[in-house]
Copies of this chain bind each other. A is one copy, B any other.
Amino acid sequence: MADVDAAPRHRRQGSRRDPAIDEAVLATTRTLLIERGYAATTIDLIAATAGVSRPAIYRRWTSKAQLVHEAAFPDLGPEAPENDFAAEVTRLCRGAIRMYGDPVVREAIPGVLVDLRSDRRMRRLLSDRLEAAARSQLAERLDAAVDEGTARAVDADTLMDVIAGGAWYAVCVRRVKDTDRAGRDLAELVLRGVLR
């Protein structure tokens, strides 16, 4: 019967990892990233601040980069895309600016890029997390809008580059303060470029 061949039972014997430690470490990592930046956010410092031992951290994450990666880029859960193409572009612009506007993300990105330089798998995971989902959703919407005749046939990837890159540049390099306005400006410029 169902019970028999159902759940493989997973045999989780022995103490479980204390989830409070995961939480404390991630929260501490976020705080320290903001306060001190990537370089000064030592594993030692994280451990001490979180009241946790260093091995407890290494048991969970194989490196500082992995830890920061998980601390800074939590799974966003797929946001519901807008039906209207213009609304979707606007949503993405705002979302990108909001994401890059998070000080944790801002501090984490370059550090993670440096440390994961030769870890192809992690780099892919990072870019997936940051934008791959949005990229493919956007492509679909664009196709539909082109079919409808509301959008011109531009390269979807270039469109995504412009949205994400423009947001990143505004927030991280130019350091705009008024993110609402920046989101509007960006969306407007991009939409002018793509709408018919």
A interface with B by C-beta (< 8 Å): 37-40, 107, 109-111, 113-115, 117-118, 127, 131, 152, 154-155, 157-162, 164-170, 173-174, 176, 182, 185-186, 188-194
Contacts and interface: CB of A to CB of B under 8 A. Distances in A.
B193 A190 contact: yes
Contact of A110 (B40, B110, B173): B110
B161 A114 contact: no
A132 to B, nearest CB: 10
B114 A155 contact: no
A185 B154 contact: yes
Total identical chains: 4
A38 B92 CA distance: 32
A117 to B, nearest CB: 4
A154 B188 contact: yes
B161 A117 contact: no
A168 B163 CA distance: 12
22 contacts: A39-B115, A114-B114, A131-B173, A154-B185, A155-B189, A157-B174, A157-B176, A158-B186, A158-B189, A161-B166, A161-B167, A162-B165, A162-B186, A164-B169, A165-B166, A165-B168, A168-B168, A168-B169, A189-B194, A192-B193, A192-B194, A193-B194
B173 A189 contact: no
Nearest to A189: B193
B192 A174 contact: no
A37 B116 CA distance: 10
A45 B191 CA distance: 49
Contacts of A174: 157, 161
Contacts of A167: 161, 165
B189 A159 contact: yes
